[in-house]
Every structure is written in structure tokens, then in C-alpha cells.
Structure 1
Amino acid sequence: MYDLIVIGGGVLGAFHAYHALEAGLKVALIEKDKAPQDATTRNFGQVVPSGMNTKWQNYGRESLRIYKDLQSQFDISVRQNGTVYLASDEDEMQLIEELHAINNQNGYASELLNKQACLDNYPGLKSSYAKGGLFYPEEVTVEPRIMIHRLLEFLKTEKKLAIYTAKTVTSCEHTGNIVNVETACGHKLKASKVVICNGREFKILYPALFAQSDLQVSKLQMMQTKPQGSGYHLPGSVLTGLSIRRYESFSECPSFSAIKSREAQGSPEKKWSIHILFKQATDGSVILGDSHQYADAKDIDDLGHGMDMAIDDFMVQKAKEIIDLPTYEIAHRWYGMYSQCKTKDLFQATVDEHIHIVTGIGGKGMTGSAGYAKENIQNLFNLTI
């Protein structure tokens, strides 16, 4: 008998388990695959509260504290190299200056960089592109294919989390004060509360509620170059002008609406919702991307299972206009899928007082999950953490 069963071993589920364990609860986590392999492992590994609106920036700032605390106890691949947004024209410069002022009001550290500082700090950055930048020294990166596995290992070995892998939950029923959970292979567990943090189990367990939701799925294409060699080092997360024109935090800037209204419509950037990001991995390779194609969650198959090479070619072309990497030879290509809500921050539903669904966190997952899950566990169990 557990106090909490978490269904879904991605970053959102893992941090729900972490905070419940920190509160002294007995916790089990059920993961449908042998190990997490969906959105949590198929992204850049950027923890960037700077890109969030005010509400989610607060969650993200708490996430930064949590990531750094965890790293001090166990190597989950956290590196504090900061985040930079590179402006390519006067409109983008105006936005980063306005966001810097908002950061000052909110007490969040950021530093305006002039053109020369950007060129000095980011090797290969083209003078023809960079006008200036906005740097966030407190922000971190993780290795997306490593972090979640190490976090779960830490929770299992050091915090006594019970982990059940390769088990798909097919039944979740509340009787009295107990929730009975059963998997496809007949494994049965009991808990006082259940939190479902996986869209697939949500769809299986509550199909009518899933069909009524406003969940949509985004398909993101990303690439990874071959290692750049020991002589090349690109620090932290590098986000560019298209990110400035897309991220939620900039939408709170006074000039944002007017600047967006002047953008050309029908461009490849608009068609595929592209913004160019760079992050160097620990092996020296550079992750590039990304694009966004959308479909309602019920129509996920419409997005297909292949890669659109026209998208990848366009992203490489745009990346070459920004940073002259030693090599743009691509070693890996992949796509990720994440769910998000059309009208809300994320999908939350209470089936009854003992069964809760939390999913559809979208692109906020790596940054916001740790901070958000802390608050949610506190609310669900009426705790002070």
C-alpha cells in the first residue's frame, strides 16, 4: 500500500514522485516503457525560465534551485553555463531591452550584451547576424538522454522510490479510501492517491475525458552534429532571434504585439513554427533545431512517423547564417512529440478526490516540472514542503 502512485516516468511524473518522497510519503512510479523514451529524452535539455511567462518563470526559478540541489547530491548532468538570446535586428534588440527591464523588476538576473561581447563569448557567431544579446547566468542545461535516467536511479537508490517499468496501466479504480491500480500484465498495486502524468495512460483509462480535452500534439524535428572537436566550445543554451519572436516571456514586452504584426506571413519559419537553437552536448556535438507541427491529440497519427528533410535542410541553412560551426555534418536526426493544451497552461483534471490527471505541459516540461510538481504535491496532500 502506497501513499501515492505516479503513472508516467517522464520529467513531470518523476518530480511529482521526488517531492512526495521529500515529504516522507511512500511512493511508487509506474512507467509504460523499459525506461522513459518520449518527450523528456527528445529535447534540447535546456532549463530556461527566461523563456516563460511570469507564472511559469516562477516555477522555473524554483526548478533551477531543485536541479542544482540534486546535482550537489548526485550527478544528473546539470551544467550552469547560462542562456543567451541573440538579437539579429532592431526589433529584437528592443524586445530584449524591454525584457531585461522586466527581469530587473522581478528580481531575475539578466545581463545585456553588446555586439562585441556576443562575438567574444560565442565562437563562430557571425558579425552580420548579431546585434546584441540578453544573458541569464543562473540558467542550466542537462543532457536529455541522461538526466531522467539518473534522476530515477537517484530516487530509487537514495530515496527508496519503488519503480515498476515496462508496465502499462489498464485499470485505475477508487473504492473507499483506496485506489486499485492494475497493469496489462496483471500486476496490482494500491494507493491512497494516484497522479497520472502520461497522456497515453490517460487516453486508455479515461477515453471520454480524453476526447473532450483540448489537448494537441506538437511534433518537433531536431538534429545533432558530429563532435566539433576539442578546440570548439559553445557555452550554455544559445537561442536566436526567432526564439525572441516566439517565446512567452517576450509576449509580455510592451512592443511585442506591434513587432509581431510586422512579420511576413507565409514564410517557412511561420509554416513550420521554426526557431533556431544551439546547445553543445558533453561529447562536443551540437544539437540544432527546432520545428513545430501540430495536430489534435486524437489525430496524432496525422503528423506521420517520418522526418521531413525540407524542414531539416531549412533549419541547417538558417543555423549557418547565425553561427559558423567547424562542422555541420549531421550525425543524428530525430523528432519528439509533446502534448499541450490549446487554451490552458496544462491539462489538469480530478476524477475524484483520489485520482488526479496532470499532463499536456508542452514545451515547459524540462523547465517548469520540478517547481510546478512541488506546488501540486503540496496541494494534493495539504502539505508544507
Structure 2
Amino acid sequence: MKPMYDLIVVGSGVLGTFHAYHALKKGLRVAIIEKDKMPKGATIQNFGQVVPSGMDSKWQAYGRESLAIYKEIQSQFDISIRQNGSVYLASNEEEIQLIEELFQINQSNNYQSHLLTKQECLDKYPGLRSDYVKAGLFFPEEVTVEPRTMIYRLQEFMIYKMGLKLITNTSIVNCESTPNGVTLSSAANEEFSASKVIICNGNEFKNLFPTLFNESDLEVSKLQMMQTKPQQNYTLDGSILTGLSIRRYEAFYECPSFKSIKAKENPDALEKKWGVHILFKQAADGSVILGDSHHYADAKNIDDLGFDLDMDIDNFMIQEAKKIIDLPNYEIQNRWYGMYSQCKTKDIFEHTIGGNIHIITGIGGKGMTGSAGFSKENINKIFNT
């Protein structure tokens, strides 16, 4: 019998959704199966920054492709994309050296960026403290999204304009190869068949293939974030990344001075202990998102990360943020944590079972920026086109 679908994607987060998007673009029959009513993991629990500038050269290429894809969709349907650029703010001579080196790297990559003087930074970003900023590096092509809106609008677009079948509240409990492709079974005894299946959800991966999951090198990062109350008569454009971001993001690893500068850092500093780098992004309602921190555990030991928010970390991040930007208010209306999985030794976890079952997960913090571009290439590879 002919399978119901050419492709079923298990997991409706950003990585799974963009695999489905590119398969639909090829005219394939595609379904996404989501265990919950809606995605509620890392896809909606993030900053909503699309920043290829922060990635190494390989993933910057995927990120730049993602920018083009986001902008193409936004031109047809509002999925909350705003092209307002990203800036890295240097707070001392070492960080100035790193942004100048990254500027040179991006010139050779033909990726547009502009070095900003201290005064240009102060003029562009209201409330930025003159005793913090020394210079900046601005990427005008980069965009922000509203993470708690974007994925639902994207899926709505795919359902009504592209023919996506979105199946929610359906937990897959069995996945096996057949002569015609793959058969999936749900907890409610429903059966689905497809020529190929892509599993993009860590929970389903763990439940369906527990031995493989436990042998994987996946780890989970827990990130704390906050949202202020709306800022009255105040506008902060784009993604604001600061000195600690310059010292953390992978793009800067390629700078000639990076290793020597990192070697001078205090290993006992609180930002090291808690994996903190300070980010700002204004949401559509005028509030400002602040963060974030990083705690890690092997994926099979995810519960070791706990289920609470550490107020010492939040208080430290607010204290550091106040050294950078004087917001009209630092009253916090929401606090939350997000979790994402990543590989310790690879860019992303990829494993194929029987030729037609593809497990693709562990994209880490690259999901919002890299998924659209990576998925385009990966769908071409999976369907040999």
C-alpha cells in the first residue's frame, strides 16, 4: 500500500517545522505529529534573536540562508519578523580587539557589518551607559522574532498556503521500518505511514529508541530568562549582545586573539560559574527580555538540572544588566527557564535507522537562527534532490 505521506516529522518545534516547510516546497505530502497541543519547548522559550553573526563560519552560512527564508515568508504572511539588526557592545580594549577581528572575518565572508564608535552606540541605543560601552559591531541584516508567536503563525501559513497536515495531542509510541517506508503508532492506537520519518523531538527520541538515546553524547542546557514590565516611551531596536557575549559566542572563537583573551579570564567569576552573558531584546509589547544563564547535564540526567529558578542568578543578571543599560524600569513581570539539547562533540545529532528513519536533534542554541537554512540542505540530502 502507498504510504499516507511522503514525510512525517515528529516534533513541531522550529527544527521539525522547517524540515516540513522545505519538504512542502518540493511538493511532497507532509504531516507534523506533535505530542502536545502546541510546541512548548526551546522553540518558544528563547530570546527570539536570529543572529548568524554569533556563529562559526559553517553555521553562519546556514543562518544567512535562514534570514533569507524568514524574510521571504514574512513578505507573504506576518510571522513576527522584524529586521532591526544586532549589535555587539565592547566594554574594554580586549573586546574591541575581538569585534575588530570579527569585522575583518565578516568582510572576507561578504557578510555586512559596521564598526560603531562609542558615540554612535550611545546615539543609537537609548539608556546605554557611557561608562560601559567603548565601541560596537552592528549587523544590519539580522532580525528578531517573537518566539511565542512565530512558530504558530508559521504553521498556520504552512497549513493554509502549503497543505501541511498538523496532528497535535498525539504521542508516538512505536516507529518501525516497513517494505514501503515507515509505520508509526500512537498511544491511542492510531497508525500513520510515510515513506520517510524525521524525529526532531528529544522526548520521542528517548521513548522510541532508549538505548540509542542513552548512548548519545547529547547534553541539555538550562537557561534562565526574564521579562520586564513594558517600558513607557522607550524603544530599544534589535538584539543587544554585550561584552560577555563577545567572550562566549562561537563566531569569536575564530578571531586570532580569542584564545589568549579567554586565558586571562577569572575562572572563579560568577559569570563563569553560571554561564551568564547579558542580552537585551525589546518585545512587541514594549517589555524587555533579559538573560541568560547556562547549566548543563547529560540528556539522560536532565532531571539533575532541577525545576526551579535560582534567584541568585536572576539577581546577578539584573545587577550586570544595570551596568550596561539604564532602562526606565527593571520591574520583572515574568521569569522562566528554557531547555535545549546539544551535542558535546558534533554540531547536531544525526542518526539514520534502516534508511528511512532520520533522528535529527540537539541543534542547541542554534535552533532559531540555523534551523531554516540547515533544514533546507538536509531535506535535499534525505530526498536525494
Distance 1:182 1:120 in 2: 58
Q: Which residue of 2 aligns with 1:307?
A: 309
4+ runs deviating over 2 angstroms: none
Name 1:339's counterpart in structure 2. 341
State the Cα deviation string for residues 364-385 of structure 1 (Å, max 9, x = none). Answer: 00000000000000000011xx
- Could you list the per-position Cα deviations for residues 13-34 of structure 1 after superposition, in whole angstroms to 9, with x for gaps in the alignment? 0000000000110000001110
- Could you tell me how far 1:59 is from its partner in structure 2? 0.1
Q: What is the alpha-carbon distance in structure 1 between the residues aligned to residue 336 and residue 312 of structure 2?
A: 14
Q: Which residue is 1:30 aligned to?
A: 33
State the distance in 2 between where 1:149 and 1:288 align: 23
1:178 deviates by 2.2
**Secondary structure of 1:288's match?**
strand
1:313-324 to structure 2, matched below 5 A, reads 313-324=315-326
Cα distance in 2, alignment partners of residues 160 and 189 from structure 1? 17
> Once the two structures are superposed, what CA deviation does each residue of 1:266-325 show, in whole Å capped at 9, x if it has no partner?
111000110000000010000000000000001100101010000000000000000000
CA deviation map 1:219-272 (0-9, x unaligned) = 00000000001x200000000000000000000000000000000111110001
| Match of residue 156 from structure 1 | 159
Task: Indicate the residue corresponding to 1:242 in structure 2.
Answer: 244
The Cα of 1:183 is off from its aligned counterpart by 1.1
189, 196, 201: which one aligns with 2:199: 196
Which secondary structure state, in structure 2, belongs to the residue aligned with residue 40 of structure 1?
coil
Equivalent position to 2:172, from 169, 174, 180: 169
- Residue of 49, 71, 86 corresponding to 1:83: 86
Superimposed CA distance per residue, residues 152-196 of structure 1 (whole angstroms, 9 cap, x where no aligned partner)? 111111111001001111111111122111111112110000000
Please state if 1:100 is matched with 2:103: yes
Within 1, Cα distance between the matches of 2:190 and 2:75? 36
Matched with 1:292 is: 294
Q: What is the 5 A alignment of 1:47-86? A: 47-86=50-89
Show structure 2 runs of 5+ residues with no match.
Answer: none
TM-score normalized by the length of structure 1? 0.99
1:270 and 2:272 correspond: yes
For the residue of structure 2 that corresponds to 1:295, the secondary structure is strand
State the one-letter code of the partner of 2:82.
R
- In structure 1, distance between residues paired with 2:81 and 2:257: 34
Counterparts of 2:124 and 2:167, CA distance in 1:
45
1:70-109: CA deviation from partner (whole Å, max 9, x where unpaired): 0001100000000000000000000000000000000000
Percent of pairs with identical residues: 68
| 2:5 alignment partner AA | Y
| Aligned counterparts of 2:353 and 2:125: Cα–Cα separation in 1 | 49
What does residue 112 of structure 2 align with?
Answer: 109
- Give the equivalent residue in structure 2 for 1:220: 223
Pairs aligned (count): 382
State yes or no: 1:373 paired with 2:375: yes
1:134 partnered with 2:137: yes
Aligned residue identity for 1:196: I
Q: CA RMSD of the aligned region, Å?
A: 0.5
Q: Distance in 2 between matches of 1:175 and 1:148?
A: 32
Take 1:324 and 1:17, find their aligned partners in 2: how far apart are those partners? 42
Specify the alignment match of 1:253 in structure 2.
255
CA distance in structure 1 between the aligned counterparts of 2:217 and 2:148, rounded to whole angstroms: 29
One-letter amino acid matched to 1:285: S
| Partner SS for 1:233 | coil
In 1: Cα distance, 2:175 partner to 2:347 partner: 25
Q: Which amino acid aligns with 2:256?
A: P
Q: Is the aligned partner of 1:8 residue 2:22?
A: no
TM-score by length of 2: 0.99
Aligned mates of 2:178, 2:267 — CA distance in 1: 54
Distance, in Å, in 2 between the alignment partners of 1:327 and 1:186 is: 52
What amino acid maps onto 2:381 in structure 1? N
How big is each residue's C-alpha offset from its partner over 1:311-368, in whole Å with a ceiling of 9 and x where there is no partner?
A: 0000000000000000000000000000000110010000121100000000000000
Aligned residue for 1:41, secondary structure, equals coil
Q: Distance in 1 between matches of 2:42 and 2:36?
A: 13
- Residue 143 (structure 1) aligned with residue 146 (structure 2): yes
Say which is worse superposed, 273-282 or 172-181, in terms of deviation.
Answer: 172-181
Distance 1:33 1:247 in 2: 32
